[in-house]
Amino acid sequence: MEYLARIATEFVRDRLKETEWENRRYIADLCLLESIMKRRGPSSAVEAMFFKGLQSVYPVEYECIKKELTSGERTSQEEFVRLRQEWTQKKMDEERERSERWAEQDKKNWEKWVRAGGR
């Protein structure tokens, strides 16, 4: 847990304060993300894969850490909650649109099936 002593941003410290022990992996992930960003990027191919994975799992956190490391601007708890809600809503909207497209395509495929003689 040495990484806890190397936390560089208030954003990650704030997340630590609100995170239960059972969810400690979240903080470890944020610390790794932060550490790689402080060094201006991954130092190996394996680390690059981890970095990309963490960016995709924690896109809002990534942006908040990036903002604090580059500009010194801290993300408030309220802003973080709002950003997470917006991201969650965007993902839900994208999933709904994808499902609608699949349903539409499935209907077209069924119609082709029936025209070809299927039941």
Contact, 91 vs 60, CB < 8 A?
Answer: no
* pLDDT band at residue 66 under the 50/70/90 scheme: very high
> Which pLDDT value is given to residue 40?
85
Q: What are the extents of the domains in the chain?
A: 1-75, 77-119
Long-range contacts of 60-66 (CB under 8 A, 24+ apart): 60/84, 60/87, 61/11, 61/15, 61/30, 61/33, 62/33, 64/11, 65/9, 65/11, 65/12, 65/30, 65/33, 65/34, 65/37, 66/37
> Which pLDDT value is given to residue 10?
96
d(CA 55, CA 117): 48
> Which pLDDT value is given to residue 119?
84
Summarize pLDDT for 69-109 with one digit per residue, the tens.
Answer: 999 999 999 999 999 999 999 999 999 999 999 999 999 99
Mean pLDDT in residue range 34-50: 91
